[in-house]
């Protein structure tokens, strides 16, 4: 069985679509609602490193205290940004997915396909109706 973890926000359509794509591959992932159970600082730092991004790349601005905390300040260190995300988990963009093939911030949701070890098992359309997987489980061109 493939071990997959998704740091999920059920209120987010992108996160729901990524979760559905994981399930469409036949895997039931470990779902962590990160607003209720945020990752430890060291784990978050490791996931960011494994994803090949900078902490700033994981920051969410919309609907968060980003502006109030002055996080647009380019002089802030990576440690300061990590501290802000730990203090305010809503600042962590989602969904963040961990599989044996890597870690990705799955925006757009179909980014998850790049790190799923198992093929899609059938057709899939996003919540907005956009078809991204055909009936044979193949990814449709963008």
Catalytically annotated residues: 12
Q: How far is CA 107 from CA 6, 12, 17, 96, 136, in A?
A: 13, 11, 10, 9, 24
Question: Length of the chain, please?
Answer: 142
Please report the sign of the dihedral spanned by the C-alpha atoms of residue 67, residue 69, residue 73, residue 79: negative
Q: Where are the alpha helices (DSSP H) in the chain?
A: 13-24, 41-51, 55-58, 78-87
């Amino acid at each position: 069985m493939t071990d997959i973890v998704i740091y999920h926000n059920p209120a987010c359509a992108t996160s729901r679509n990524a979760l559905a794509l994981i399930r469409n591959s036949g895997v039931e992932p470990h779902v962590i609602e990160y607003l209720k159970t945020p990752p430890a600082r060291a784990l978050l730092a490791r996931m960011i490193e494994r994803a090949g991004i900078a902490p700033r790349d994981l920051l969410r601005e919309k609907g968060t205290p980003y502006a109030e905390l002055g996080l647009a300040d380019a002089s802030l260190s990576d440690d300061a940004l990590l501290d802000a995300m730990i203090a305010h988990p809503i600042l962590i963009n989602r969904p963040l997915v961990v599989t044996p093939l890597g870690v990705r911030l799955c925006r757009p949701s179909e980014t998850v396909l790049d790190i799923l070890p198992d093929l899609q098992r059938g057709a899939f359309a996003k919540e907005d109706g956009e078809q991204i997987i055909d009936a044979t489980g193949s990814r449709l061109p963008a």
